[in-house]
């Protein structure tokens, strides 16, 4: 016979406390999922902003050099 094993659902660590997902209400699980998704979006946005700021710096430096060259 094949023995079935129950997949253990990982606990959630939130603000220093550990929560057993199986014991949370549907609403609490939903809110955790929302927060996790928002955190991913925030991280992606921060990553994108870092890229934009780096690109802006490059173009600013190029423009300043171009303007300086036009003076001479």
DSSP letter assigned to residue 36 = H
CB 31 within 8 A of CB 21: no
Question: What's the confidence (pLDDT) of residue 34?
Answer: 98
Full-model pTM: 0.70
Strand ranges, E, within 10-61:
12-14, 17-19
Residues 7-17, mean pLDDT to the nearest whole number: 92
Of the candidates 50, 12, 46, which has an alpha carbon nearest to the alpha carbon of residue 28?
Answer: 12
Per-domain residue ranges of the chain: 26-71
- For residue 47, the SS3 value is helix
pLDDT digits (tens, 9 = 90+) for 24-71: 999 999 999 999 999 999 999 999 999 999 999 999 999 999 999 988
């Amino acid at each position: 016979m094949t023995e079935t094993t129950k997949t253990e659902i990982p606990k959630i660590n939130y603000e220093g406390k550990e929560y057993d997902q199986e014991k949370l209400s549907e609403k609490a699980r939903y809110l955790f999922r929302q927060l996790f998704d928002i955190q991913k979006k925030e991280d992606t946005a921060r990553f994108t902003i870092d890229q934009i700021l780096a690109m802006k710096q490059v173009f600013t430096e190029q423009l300043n050099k171009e303007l300086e060259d036009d003076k001479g």
